[in-house]
């Protein structure tokens, strides 16, 4: 029955079997976020293009190649959001959240869009969940957000997770380091790929991300930012590490860690999962102390992360079994249809899961269907108003009083 239409390249349909696993993931995440006081925020699916150009950074792959940008009928340039942090900072400023008690702790979940080459774990429409703690530079906030992602992956049971931790320093200290790095790259230009060479002066850090053996050789002897941190940045980073150590969270210190977005300062981190192969990052983030100022607001330090829902589900590789129903109301006599509807409603209102036949099946067909959907009991409504209650596991059947339906469901007592 395939039609000529298919979901666009790099997108996918979430069918009910996969939807159940997503619902569980979101329920676990919501519980963790709520217990830690991160409240839900929702921003639009599209924003002014300029927000991402400024926020994410013009030299990033995201802005250069991956945005779904379009003009609306008023000739404004809009972009389907490729990430959530810049929009949330926009909302923080727009709604004067800097006047609230700081930090403002927010959580989010939703679709994001990047025009990347699709492969397992990499899509053009994907879903992230994430948190942001805005308005504090305390290392406690860095440690808290990292711990919450660690808790989430732990509670879900994601196997083989490792945490990589680094620091990019604050903007001033980083500028001096970047000059040093550029000089190193220029000295070894002959060993670099064209792509890395072209970006030496625009985005030299990306060279650490290259999978070319020649570039990797050059980067092995490159200075790392961890050796160039200012005393203040070093102290901040040491405290984040001490807090993670105290919480028993293991990590690998990585001086070559880079991220694909320009707004990061100081702490950056990445949770990777070896089961994922090529697209091994399950979630990551860091501190972005300059972003809100960059968007025209007051200097406001902040830290957060986002995790890819599809990547978590791929790593879990589990199907959530469909839950059975408490009851199925079967109609042995067509005259009983209205009564069946009323009884199904009564059961649902009392908190039971209950279904009835919507497809005009005969009684035998209804019992088969009740079995298929895993109904624990079937209430069979007979001509004349009598009823039978059948236990599907034992096959036992007895007369039932539909005037005391809830009592019948809980074992026959009123
Ligand atoms: P990001 O590293 O670009 O960070 O994305 C976060 C996560 O989204 C990745 O670790 C990955 O799991 C998932 N992801 C990214 N691109 C794709 C894709 N094409 N297909 C499937 N999954 C993908 C951010 O977006 C930052 N806003 C995170 C952050 C929040 N930093 C501070 N606060």
H or E, element range at 285:
strand 281-287
For atom 30 of ligand 1, which residue has the closest CA? 305
Rounded distance, CA 336 to CA 384, Å? 9
CA 344 to chain centre: 36
Per the CB < 8 A criterion, the answer to whether 104 and 134 are in contact is yes
- Is it true that the peptide bond before 157 is cis, omega within 30 degrees of 0? no
Q: Is the pLDDT of residue 412 over 70?
A: no
Q: Which residue has the higher pLDDT, 318 or 249?
A: 249
Closest ligand 1 atom to residue 123 Cα is: 20
299-328: average pLDDT:
94
Buried b (16+ CB within 10 A) or exposed e, 181-215: beebbeebeebbeeebbebbeebbbbbbbbeeeeb
Pocket test for ligand 1, best of 128, 134, 142, 286 (most atoms within 8 A of CB): 128
Per-residue pLDDT at 51:
98
Indicate the length of the chain as a whole number: 414
Dist. CA 306 → ligand 1 center (Å): 6
Dist. CA 52 → ligand 1 center (Å): 14
Closest ligand 1 atom to residue 82 Cα is: 25
* Band of residue 413 on the pLDDT scale cut at 50, 70, 90: very low
Name residues contacting ligand 1 (CB within 6 A): 83-85, 114, 116, 121-123, 126, 128, 130, 132, 259-261, 281-286, 288, 304-308, 310-311
For atom 12 of ligand 1, which residue has the closest CA? 308
Q: Give the tokens for residue 314.
A: 């791929």
Per the CB < 8 A criterion, the answer to whether 362 and 379 are in contact is no
Dist. CA 307 → ligand 1 center (Å): 6
Please write down the HEC assignment for all residues of 83-104: CCHHHHHHHHHHCCHHHCCCCE
Sheet bearing 265-273, strands edge to edge: 39-40, 104-113, 125-134, 302-308, 281-287, 265-273, 161-167, 252-253
Predicted confidence (pLDDT) per residue in 375-394, tens digit: 999 999 999 999 999 999 99
């Amino acid at each position: 029955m395939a039609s000529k239409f298919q979901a666009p390249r790099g997108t996918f349909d979430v069918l009910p079997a996969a939807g159940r696993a997503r619902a569980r993931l979101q329920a676990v995440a919501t519980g963790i976020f709520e217990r830690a006081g991160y409240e839900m925020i929702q921003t639009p699916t599209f924003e002014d293009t300029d927000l991402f150009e400024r926020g994410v950074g013009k030299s990033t792959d995201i802005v250069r190649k991956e945005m779904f940008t379009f003009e609306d009928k008023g000739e404004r340039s809009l972009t389907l959001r490729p990430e959530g942090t810049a929009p949330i900072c926009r909302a923080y400023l727009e709604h004067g959240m800097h006047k609230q008690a700081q930090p403002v702790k927010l959580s989010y979940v939703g679709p994001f869009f990047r025009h990347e080459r699709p492969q397992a774990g990499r899509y053009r429409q994907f879903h992230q969940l994430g948190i942001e703690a805005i308005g504090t530079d305390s290392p406690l906030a860095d440690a808290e957000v990292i711990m919450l992602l660690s808790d989430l992956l732990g509670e879900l049971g994601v196997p083989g997770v490792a945490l990589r931790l680094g620091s990019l320093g604050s903007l001033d200290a980083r500028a001096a380091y970047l000059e040093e790095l550029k000089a190193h790259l220029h000295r070894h230009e002959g060993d670099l790929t064209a792509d890395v060479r072209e970006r030496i002066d625009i985005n030299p850090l990306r060279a650490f991300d290259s999978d070319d053996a020649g570039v990797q050789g050059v980067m092995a002897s490159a200075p790392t930012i961890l050796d160039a941190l200012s005393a203040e940045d070093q102290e901040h980073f040491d405290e984040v590490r001490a807090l993670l150590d105290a919480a028993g969270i293991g990590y690998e210190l990585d001086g070559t860690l880079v991220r694909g977005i320009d707004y990061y300062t100081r702490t950056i981190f990445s949770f990777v999962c070896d089961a994922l192969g090529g697209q091994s990052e399950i979630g990551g983030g860091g501190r972005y102390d300059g972003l809100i100022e960059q968007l025209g607001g007051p200097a406001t330090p902040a830290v957060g992360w986002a995790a890819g829902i599809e990547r978590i589900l791929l790593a879990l590789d589990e199907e959530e079994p469909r839950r059975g129903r408490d009851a199925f109301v079967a109609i042995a006599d067509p005259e009983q249809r209205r009564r069946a509807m009323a009884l199904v409603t009564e059961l649902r209102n009392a908190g039971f899961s209950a279904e009835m036949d919507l497809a005009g099946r005969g009684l035998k067909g209804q019992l088969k269907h009740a079995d298929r959907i895993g109904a624990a009991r079937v209430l069979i409504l007979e001509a004349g108003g009598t009823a039978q209650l059948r236990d599907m596991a034992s096959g036992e059947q007895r007369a039932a009083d539909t005037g005391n339906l809830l009592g019948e469901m809980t074992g026959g007592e009123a």
